[in-house]
Amino acid sequence: MHVIVAGAGQVGSAIARYLAKVGNDVTVIDQNAELAQRIGDALDIQAVVGHAALPSTLERAGAADADLLVAVTHVDEVNIVACQVAHSLFNVPTRIARIREQDYLEGRFADLFRREHIPVDVVISPEREVAQAIALRLLVPGALTVVPFADDLVRLVALRIDETASVIDTPLRELTALFPDLHLVCVGIVRGERFFVPGGDDRILVGDEVFFVCETAHLGRALPVFGQSEPSPSRLVIVGGGNIGLRLAEIIESHHAEIACKVIEASPARADLVAQRLHHAVVLCGDGRSRDTLLEAGVDGAGAIVAVTNDDDINILTSLLAKRLGCPRALALITRSDYEILTADIGIDVTINPRDTTVSSILGHIRRGRIRAVHTIRDGAAEVFEAEALETSPIVGQPLRELKAPGLVLGAVVRQGRVIAPRGDTVVRAGDRVIIAARAETVKRVEQLFAVRLDYF
């Protein structure tokens, strides 16, 4: 597949790296010649210097033969026009655009991105995706990551293990016998800086970051197994009233009215706008790094603080100050990868990187076969898929123990709305939705397992 990635920033370079790694023909476009050349050399892919919305630039990038355009420059309008040009002049079959400006995404303008108007097949809104991801993590005590699959019948959850977990030093193959009523499978472990897909003889150790797939209805009983028993917060402080902070507050108001929410925003004009958009939340105008402002917002009695300004340093300092003032849990938006390795050591409980969320959303629309959703782990070290099995998919009709794929583990099978914990004798049927984790080098095998012969259609 020939893919053009317009924009060589964090998201664009991550997408290019993932797609090139699994054998796609990738071309990156960026106006910054040095950045484009660096990425081209690092990934051994073609790099084109130019404005991504110009026909001549897309032509040099090979748009005439491209299967997909992923437009993720920093300017919405460039992404939109690039999709229009790719459709009108080069007939690129699929076009994905990252759109940040919320006005484009208003429900009353829903017809804007249609083939007969502006031909964008998939619109990715990082702010909305990130706000939803934060809301999910807030409601699962101790969660570093929460990703819903199969219409939220199943969730991928990541937790950091401390001394209170009852599964410490237990071989993973024994979890089924110890907790027979829990539909739960460990699909990944981060130990130190190393990520691995565990086998049955591997054990969970203190300090591990554990990724497990669990039936959503069983999650409340599964968390104490891993040492997490705190309640969800009843009071929340959000620092930053930008698109992410506002969207998060709206989600809390709409779906979790039991949580009292306060928003701190530094800009008076923006604070006024946020106050107009929200119905119940209290909006304060002030600096989140100010002790007095945080105390006025009641951070010392809040269950969590979420720092989502557009400045990493402010988010880190605000989170640390809030923890010092007595807030038990701090979540911070961090865009710089260099900072992520430090945050856990200095006391920030959860970091949210919008790049990871955006990349996962885009990959869910790119992967071949019947792949419905994708979530990347540890900057692409592994991916968790939701895939649909059709009648001629190779995975259908054989016991799971016969699948010869090191670095691959099945987390759950969803059949007609019922979650099945996979065992060696489990047989996947046509129509099943399968949650499966795979190391980066095994991703192509997953696509093959769920591929469909052309004669099926």
The pLDDT of residue 456: 38
Pair 94, 68: CB distance under 8 Å: yes
The pLDDT of residue 450: 80
The pLDDT of residue 361: 82
Q: What is the DSSP letter of 49?
A: E
Q: How far apart are CA 54 and CA 52, in angstroms?
A: 6
Does residue 453 carry a pLDDT above 60?
A: no
pLDDT confidence band for 447 (50 / 70 / 90): confident
Pair 285, 268: CB distance under 8 Å: yes
pLDDT confidence band for 375 (50 / 70 / 90): confident
Q: Which of the two residues, 377 and 329, has the higher pLDDT score?
A: 329
Q: Which of the two residues, 449 and 80, has the higher pLDDT score?
A: 80
pLDDT confidence band for 423 (50 / 70 / 90): confident
pLDDT confidence band for 368 (50 / 70 / 90): low
Please give the C-alpha separations between residue 420 and each of 176, 196, 213, 415, 433, in angstroms, as whole numbers.
Answer: 13, 24, 12, 7, 10
Would you give the distance in Å from CA 122 to the centre of its chain? 16
Q: What is the mean pLDDT of the chain?
A: 89
Comparing CA positions, the residue from 190, 160, 161, 208 lying closest to residue 350 is 160
Q: Which of the two residues, 361 and 435, has the higher pLDDT score?
A: 435
The pLDDT of residue 452: 59
Q: How far apart are CA 275 and CA 282, in angstroms?
A: 7
Q: How far apart are CA 146 and CA 158, in angstroms?
A: 7
Say which residues have a Cβ less than 8 Å from residue 422's Cβ, sequence separation at least 6: 185, 400, 410, 411, 412, 413
State the residue for tokens 């603080």.
305
pLDDT confidence band for 444 (50 / 70 / 90): confident
344 three-class SS:
helix
Dihedral sign for Cα 367, 371, 376, 382, please: negative
303-359: per-residue pLDDT in tens?
A: 999 999 999 999 999 999 999 999 999 999 998 877 766 776 777 888 888 888 888
Output b/e per residue, 403-439; b: 16+ Cβ within 10 A. Answer: beeeebbbbbbbeeeebbbbeeebebeeebbbbbbbb
Between 48-62, 322-336, 361-375, the lowest mean confidence (pLDDT) is in 361-375
Q: How far apart are CA 368 and CA 210, in angstroms?
A: 28
Percent of the chain with pLDDT over 90: 54
Q: Tell me the β-bridge partners of 236.
A: 261, 304
Q: Which of the two residues, 17 and 270, has the higher pLDDT score?
A: 270
The pLDDT of residue 438: 86
Does residue 455 carry a pLDDT above 50?
A: no
The pLDDT of residue 404: 67
Q: How far apart are CA 218 and CA 196, in angstroms?
A: 25
pLDDT confidence band for 416 (50 / 70 / 90): very high
The pLDDT of residue 117: 85
147-186: per-residue pLDDT in tens?
A: 999 999 999 999 999 888 888 998 988 887 788 888 889 9
Pair 27, 21: CB distance under 8 Å: no
Q: Which of the two residues, 389 and 85, has the higher pLDDT score?
A: 85
Q: DSSP readout, 260-276? A: EEEEEES-HHHHHHHHH
210 burial type by CB count under 10 A (0-12 exposed, 13-18 middle, 19+ buried) = buried
pLDDT confidence band for 454 (50 / 70 / 90): very low
Comparing CA positions, the residue from 67, 29, 96, 105 lying closest to residue 358 is 96
The pLDDT of residue 457: 32
The pLDDT of residue 211: 94
Percent of the chain with pLDDT over 70: 97
The pTM (predicted TM-score) of the whole model is 0.85
Q: Following CA atoms 180, 182, 186, 192 in sequence, which dihedral angle do they give, to the nearest 10 degrees?
A: -100
Comparing CA positions, the residue from 134, 35, 29, 33 lying closest to residue 72 is 29
Q: What is the DSSP letter of 57?
A: H
Q: Tell me the β-bridge partners of 371.
A: 387
Q: How far apart are CA 409 and CA 202, in angstroms?
A: 13
Cα Rg of the chain (Å, integer): 23
Average pLDDT over residues 286-309: 95
pLDDT confidence band for 443 (50 / 70 / 90): confident
38 burial type by CB count under 10 A (0-12 exposed, 13-18 middle, 19+ buried) = middle
Average pLDDT over residues 177-203: 87
pLDDT confidence band for 61 (50 / 70 / 90): very high
